[in-house]
Amino acid sequence: MLRIAAGRVYDPANGIDGEVRDVCVQDGKIVADVPGHARRIDARGMVVMPGGVDIHAHIAGPKVNAARKLLPDEHRADVLDRTGTTRSGSGGTVPSTFTTGYRYALLGYTTVIEAATPPLAARHTLAELRDTPVIDAAFLVLLGNNLPLFELIRTEPERVREAVAWWLQATGGYGVKLVNPGGVEMFKRGEGNVTSLDDDGPGVTPRRVIETIATAVHELGLPHPVHVHCNNLGVAGNYRTTLDTLRTLEGRRAHLAHIQFHAYGGRAGGRPRSRAPELAEYLGAHPEFSADVGQVMFGPATTMTADAPVSAVLSEITHGRWVNADTEAETGCGIVPFTYRERNYVHALQWGIGLELFLLSRDPWRLVLSTDHPNGGSFLSYPRLIRLLMDREFRNTQVRRVNQQAMRRTVLLDDLEREYTLQEIAIITRAGPARLLGLRDKGHLGVGADADITIYDDRADREAMFEAPRYVFKDGRAVVEDGELRETGSGRLLRVGTEYDAAIEPTLETLFEEHYSVGFSSYPVREPWLLEPARTVAAEPR
């Protein structure tokens, strides 16, 4: 039992905006009160928030492990020694499993979503998530370039709903991710990349893939809507594709991933410019849509994506180490180590566009924080990003340091007045992501919520404040005290509960025989050590 006494509480989901009050914990949950003999933490002068929720990151699975192998120099430079509390590991832009869990906890984050796993890789992803301490975690299943599913979309679209439900149950996944839908398969066939949502390279257009799968996810009532990485990522002029995708999705809930990378004007092959204001306005006018930003932060990053065409282009730019791989019948994968430089026109523009989206957003509940870790930068850069949003003077100083030609293509030279409040930071890092994920026990401090709590010293330097919480509690256990790790137990797996008509299985088995070398009966994950225990979040079919 625990009483966190007299802290300034920021709990947006329950309308609490900096009120001085107590937060009480018992048996891993928030409760209304605890007896007087309960442990007491004097939080006077401190800021109390729910534990952080990262809606979009890449922390587990074959692509992440391949990136670790590609970067031995990073690991040699950032070694985590074994202690009485922690196991050994390594850091860099793609930390080892142990280090990932420890460092998220040390930032005050307690829940993380692995944003892209091919169904065939589910066992690998689950094993690494099980090996990642402290944080609760889930993964999204890639279905946007799946050949058996394309067959169903072409021939029996009314059965896609049952197939999607089957795939979620077969893998232990939480939601559905589309990456460059249709486009990766076109690239793998040597047909180039998507130029229009009506291209028909793999026999089914991107528009039809998006419409059919988004409708299936909507009808299944999954807690998180379809999670879309749009076509033409990073290409000048791609904001048109993004708007076309949104118009295609209208009337159904959808979440757009790392929207900064899809907000570029100009012409393909030319210099991009910002179209953030148009996208911010469109999102603001359509409450069924949400997005995470995918903010670029200057310094080292590792681009890793199921969007194989993007990695091929980046490899030509960097002329360094890279990997591009095919995942049988399901997707591609590319990994390119990268460094964002503030004097580089394109990199500075990407940084500026992300800030524009944050500052122009009308609704912080629907445009939430991410760097698409490690694509736009490490999750360790979140505190600096928070300072950029909260401190106008600091932001303007940084704007003056970067490539000025790029800044003239944004609205940042207009000295935007907006500064995020602590309540808004609590929304975009906690309450908002939890709500968009449908995690009713996360992201708030109401009675019955998971006792995932972060306590910060209230410092004027917001970067210093958010990079070193005083306390972090996970399910009521003190995992960080006085800024140091005290406990590193396991988190839990989060998965979705969906039902499907078993009549879809013979159809899928026939498609598997045509497209896969893996037998249908061997494909689903059944190993209890991977799947259980888990918290299952129920779907609510429409």
Banded model confidence at residue 391, pLDDT cuts 50, 70, 90: very high
Residue at 491 is within a domain: no
Mean pLDDT of 152-158: 97
Say if CB 258 and CB 222 are below 8 A apart.
no
Residue 344 within any structural domain of the chain: yes
Query: Would you state the pLDDT for residue 156?
Result: 97
CA–CA separation, 320 and 416 (whole Å)? 38
For residue 319, pLDDT beyond 90: no
pLDDT at 192 over 90: no
pLDDT score at 281: 97
C-alpha span between 84 and 92 (Å, rounded): 23
Residue 221: burial class (beta carbons within 10 Å; 0-12, 13-18, 19+): middle
Assess if residue 6 is contained within a domain.
no
pLDDT higher than threshold 90 for residue 516? yes
148 pLDDT more than 90: yes
Q: How many CB atoms lie within 10 A of CB 417?
A: 7
User: For residues 179 and 234, what is the distance between their CA atoms, to the nearest angstrom?
Assistant: 13
pLDDT of residue 268: 80
DSSP one-letter string for 167-232: HHHHHT-SEEEEESTTHHHHHHTTS---SSTT--TTSS-HHHHHHHHHHHHHHHT-SS-EEEE-SS
Per-residue pLDDT, 146: 97
Residue 191: predicted pLDDT: 85
Q: Write the single-letter amino acid at 178.
A: L
Q: What is the pLDDT of residue 269?
A: 78
pLDDT at 90: 96
Is 428 inside a domain boundary? Answer: yes
DSSP element (H, E) containing 13:
none
Own/partner long-range contacts of 83-88 (Cβ < 8 Å, ≥24 apart): 85/485, 85/486, 85/487, 85/488, 86/485, 86/488, 87/488
**What is the DSSP secondary structure assignment for residue 490, as one 8-state letter?**
B
| pLDDT single digits (tens) 161-188 | 999 999 999 999 999 999 999 999 999 8
pLDDT class of 52 with cuts at 50, 70, 90 = very high
Provide the pairing of β-strand 477-481 with 471-474: antiparallel
Amino acid 383: pLDDT = 98
Rounded mean pLDDT, 222-240: 97
Statement: the pTM of the whole predicted model exceeds 0.95: yes
Please determine, for residue 282, whether its predicted confidence score (pLDDT) is greater than 90. Answer: yes
51 φ, ψ (degrees, to nearest 5): -65, 145
* Amino acid sitting at position 129: L
Torsion angle, alpha carbons of 172, 177, 183, 184, to 10: -40
pLDDT recorded at residue 542:
83
398: domain CATH number is 3.20.20
Lowest mean pLDDT among 93-102, 192-201, 290-299, 460-469: 192-201
In sequence order, the β-bridge partners of residue 455 are 48, 471
Q: What is the mean pLDDT of residues 379-394?
A: 98
- The verdict on residue 219 lying in a domain is yes
Contacts of residue 140, Cβ cutoff 8 Å, sequence gap at least 6: 113, 114, 115, 116, 117, 173, 174, 175, 176, 177, 224, 227
Residue 37 covered by a domain: no
Question: Cα 66 vs. chain centroid, distance in angstroms?
Answer: 19
The average confidence (pLDDT) of the chain is 96
Per-residue tokens: 200: 């028909």
Residue type, 520: F
- Position 325 scores a pLDDT of 87
Parent domain of 218? 52-438
Q: Tell me if 13 is assigned to some domain.
A: no
Does the pLDDT value for residue 498 go beyond 90? Answer: yes
Q: d(Cα 19, Cα 234) in Å, to the nearest integer?
A: 43
Number of domains making up the chain: 1
Q: Tally the residues of the chain.
A: 542
**What is the CB neighbour count within 10 angstroms for residue 418?**
14
Residue 367 and residue 123: Cα distance in Å, rounded?
31
Print burial letters for 481-518: b (CB count within 10 Å at least 16), e (below 16): beeebebbeebbbbbbebebeeebbebbeebbeebbee
Domain membership flag for residue 66: yes
Q: What is the mean pLDDT of residues 451-457?
A: 98
Burial of 232 (0-12, 13-18, 19+ CB in 10 A): buried
Among 225, 58, 222, 231, CA closest to 139: 58
pLDDT at 338: 95
Q: Which of 124-128, 268-272, 313-317 tops mean pLDDT?
A: 124-128
